[in-house]
Amino acid sequence: MPDSAPSASAPRPIRIAVDIGGTFTDLQVLDARSGAVHAWKTPTTPEDPSIGLITGVTEAAQRFGFTLDQVGLLLHGTTIATNAVLERKLANGVLVTTAGFEDVLEITRHVRKELYVLDPDPFPCLVDRDRRLGVPERMRADGSVETPLDEAAIPALLATLDALQAESVAVCLLHAYVNPAHERRLKALIAAARPGLPVTLSSEISPEIREYERSSTTVLNALLVPVVKAYLDRLEKRLGEGGFHPMVFLVQSNGGVCSLATAAAQPARLLLSGPSGGALAAGRIATLLNRPNLVAVDMGGTSFDVSVVQGGRIGVVTQGEVDGLPVRLPMVEMRTIGAGGGSIASVDAGGRLTVGPRSAGARPGPVAYGRGGTEPTVTDANLALGRLDPDYFLGGLMKLDMPATRAAIAGKVGERLGLSVEQAAQGMLTVTNASLGAAVRLSLFEKGLDPRDFALLSFGGAGGLHATDVATEMGIGEVIFPREPGTLSAYGILYSDLVQDLARSRVLPATATSLPAITALVEELRAEASARLAADGVAPAAQVLEVGADMRYHGQAFELLVPWPEAPDLPALIARFHAMHQQRFSYSDTAEAVEIVTLRVTAIGRLPKPDAADAPPATRPALKGSRRVFEDGAWRDVPVWDRDALPPEDRIVGPAIVEEAFATHWIGRGWTAATAAAGALIATRSV
């Protein structure tokens, strides 16, 4: 790929964002010549997601009148890393660590998540004991050398790597976050002897304190390197077809994008690649609609993702978790549950109706898709109740099978519970909405936030059918349905920037005596951040550096990430920490000693963003007609509106249905909706 960032005057005017989900691959296409923005969907191809990507781009080109050689920029969100971890389709890896610390991954944190379970599930450990190798060396916590690296032990280490048929190596030496000299020397020795063997250093992927989390992150990255590289190799081969040679960036968990080279070397940064696009879109919409407090909910085919925008800022955490495995990397703060349009309903042995987390996925998908699915899903329930039009799904691109859907709900749910098809389908939605509301409630309550202070931003292919019901349960009075909600994560990706995160762990008291050391570390990080952006071809005028600090009261075992735009104004930083602690935990103590644990710099390279033009007004009537819908215990005639033809003066009074090409919205009883800025449809609750 080219080694410089695209310029605003690039001759290839088409920019494409792709979000590959579990069921559909979503695209947003921006044509810089006219400002037109187009949305497109195509089924995901789980056997090789790059096939669906290229298929979607080709279909979009035919549909919207551009050629593949006109595409200058491809921004790609992917679940390849996440799926590899969830399915344990990882490389054959080895962990090399300081002798005597080979069992850190198995010792973990001794955290008991379920206090009263007598036989709890063990924490996952991705590297077996015989594949965890110790080398003689040791760094002290202050970075000084206690035991030099024993290079005489390297030949035996190499022989063991060969015997274990290692495909990738993770190196995590004690206190390497302070002094990485031994890690770097070890990598150089392995690379010289085994030049084709990928090596991940903890001091490069996660140079932070906490041995278990740093080891877990390093191992995850190492085991993902061959997997992600294989996918990127396949993608690059397909990118050459038909004159399709765009510059490619991949979306990271922090909401920014990175080059293919960075993604190949540090694939752990892609673990929340796709969902972070929705949070990016939420941040942009909060600005466009002057709604600084949004709770964004993305309901797709397999999952329901919740993120929070507070005061116009997207929440970011410095550590996340994937399938029980800690990942010590900055990522968009998000809660995910297994509840989507493809979530399967079943009745257990005790007669309890459950929905999810099992999903029908893309293949076979819901029964309604007619692809061999036999178990009823949330999408099937919405179809059976009349909320979906079987002849207008995906804008008419896919016909839904109503008879098979009703038969599946009757056989798998209704008959087992003694309910009619309609009652069973309504029960499926009630259970689903309760799960969605619980996820939203927890995302807000854990931060000390009141749902009544927030608007609900609903997107994803299935989100619009549940948003007003969930908002009613939560006491939220406003629901925003953005333009093209079915591909909104791709929309967020479309306007993303290059982002790199740098960190240095140094436990220092937040006092004036530490200010010289703090200032020196911040300047070191800022210099490295600028150098990285320059290496990515970002001009100085397009560079933005944001400073933050992980802080805690002395004696605490956790930190809060505190933004520090006024660095090195230490009193302002301390005051901000106290305020954040008060909001999060309803407690703060200005007399208590405060520590800085880790300093961070986020390096942002602004990519050019052509303005999107407003969609031209439609000349067709906005009211399409009516449809029989099962609502409030009875079948009723409910008006059906055409989203793309709605003029600003129309008011939609619920119950009503609003349809567009890739999404359907249910406006519940007691809600009224109208169009607003940026093409958004905003519903407000009157009762």
- Given a cut of 50, is residue 56 above it in pLDDT? yes
- Nearest-CA neighbor of 440 among 467, 401, 405? 467
- Residue scoring higher pLDDT (586 or 187): 187
Q: Strand 14-20 to strand 71-77: parallel, antiparallel, or no bridges (unpaired)? A: parallel
Q: Is the pLDDT of residue 422 over 60?
A: yes
Q: With H, G, I as helix, E, B as strand and everything else as coil, classify residue 478.
A: strand
How is residue 677 annotated by DSSP? G
Domain coordinates in residue numbering, the chain: 14-85+230-270, 86-229, 343-431, 498-605
Residue with the bigger pLDDT between 90 and 446: it is 90
| Band of residue 304 on the pLDDT scale cut at 50, 70, 90 | confident
Report how far residue 257's alpha carbon sits from residue 470's, in angstroms, rounded to the nearest whole number.
32
Please state, in angstroms and rounded to a whole number, the distance separating the CA atoms of residues 318 and 550.
9
Q: Give the contacts of 313 (CB within 8 A, at least 6 positions apart).
A: 283
Fold of 498-605: Dna Ligase; domain 1 (3.30.1490)
First to last CA, the chain: 55
Distance CA 530, CA 602 (A): 10
Taking only the tens place, the pLDDT of each residue in 200-210 is 999 999 999 99
- What digits encode the pLDDT tens for the residues 636-664? 999 999 998 888 888 999 899 999 988 89
Of 583 and 405, which is predicted with more confidence? 405
User: What's residue 545's pLDDT?
Assistant: 94
pLDDT at 634: 94
pLDDT at 687: 65
Q: Is 377 left (phi over 0), alpha (psi -120 to 50) or beta?
A: beta
DSSP output for 353-365? EEEEEEE-TTTT-
Q: Mean of the pLDDT values across residues 121-140?
A: 92
Q: In what order do the strands lie in the sheet with 71-77?
A: 36-43, 24-31, 14-20, 71-77, 247-251, 257-259, 498-509, 594-605, 543-553, 560-563
Bond prior to 655 in cis (omega within 30° of 0)? yes
* Nearest alpha-carbon partner for 215 in 162, 184, 175: 175
pLDDT over 60 (residue 525): yes
Task: Please write the tens of the pLDDT for every residue from 537-580.
Answer: 899 999 999 999 999 999 998 899 999 877 678 999 999 999 99
490-512 average pLDDT score: 92
pLDDT for res 337 = 79
Within 8 A by CB and 6+ apart from 234, the residues are: 48, 50
Does position 630 have pLDDT exceeding 90, yes or no?
Answer: yes
* Per-residue model confidence as pLDDT tens digits over 92-125: 999 999 999 999 999 988 777 777 887 877 788 9
The sign of the CA dihedral 182, 183, 184, 186 is positive
Residue type, 484: E
Answer whether residue 517 shows pLDDT above 80: yes
498 touches 256 (CB < 8 A): yes
- The 10s digit of each residue's pLDDT in 318-341 is 888 888 889 999 998 888 877 888
Closest CA to 603 of 527, 551, 550: 527
- Residue 524 in tokens: 């070191």
**If you classify domain 14-85+230-270 with CATH, what class do you get?**
alpha beta
Instruction: Specify the pLDDT at position 4.
Output: 44
- pLDDT above 90 (res 229): yes
Do residues 3 and 61 make contact, with C-beta atoms less than 8 angstroms apart? Answer: no
The predicted model gives 140-160 an average pLDDT of 96
The helix (run of H) or strand (run of E) holding residue 344 is strand 343-347
In a 13 Å sphere around the CA of 561, the CA atoms on its Cβ side amount to: 19
pLDDT at 179: 95
The lowest-confidence range among 130-139, 387-396, 464-473 is 387-396
Contact 265, 443 (CB under 8 A): no
CA-CA distance, 453 to 447, in Å (whole number)?
Answer: 13
3-state secondary structure of 500: strand
Determine which helix (DSSP H) or strand (DSSP E) holds 14, and give its type and residue range.
Answer: strand 14-20
pLDDT at 8: 37
User: Is residue 64 exposed (0-12), middle (13-18) or buried (19+ Cβ within 10 Å)?
Assistant: middle
User: What sign has the CA pseudo-torsion 326, 328, 331, 333?
Assistant: positive
Mean pLDDT estimate for the chain: 90
Q: What is the pLDDT of residue 315?
A: 84
Q: Are the C-beta atoms of residues 353 and 414 closer than 8 Å to each other?
A: no
How many C-beta atoms lie closer than 10 Å to residue 130's C-beta?
10
Mean pLDDT value of segment 227-247? 87
Q: Which amino acid is at 413?
A: V
Q: Which residues pair with 171 in a beta bridge?
A: 96, 201
**Is residue 91 over pLDDT 80?**
yes
Out of 151-155, 251-255, 258-262, the most confident range is: 151-155
Helix (H) / strand (E) containing 139: strand 138-139
Matching residue, tokens 């955490």: 317
Q: How many helices (H) and strands (E) does the chain have?
A: 17, 35
Task: Write down the pLDDT at residue 567.
Answer: 67
- Over residues 304-319, the mean pLDDT reads 88
* Residue 593, pLDDT above cutoff 90: yes
Q: How far apart are CA 257 and CA 77, in angstroms?
A: 9
Which pLDDT score is estimated for 218?
A: 97
**Cα separation, 201 vs 217, whole angstroms:** 10
- Residue 407's CB is within 10 A of a number of other CB atoms, namely 16
pLDDT exceeds 60 at position 3: no
Q: Residue 113 corresponds to which tokens in the numbers above?
A: 């998540």
Task: Give me the mean pLDDT over the 142-161 stretch.
Answer: 96
| Alpha carbons 623 and 430: distance in angstroms, whole number | 28
Closest CA to 294 of 284, 648, 19, 316: 284
Question: What is the enclosing helix (H) or strand (E) of 346?
Answer: strand 343-347
Distance CA(647)–CA(258), nearest Å, equals 40
Q: How far is CA 92 from CA 162, 165, 498, 680, in A?
A: 12, 7, 31, 48
- Number of neighbouring beta carbons within 10 Å of residue 567: 21
pLDDT at 180: 96
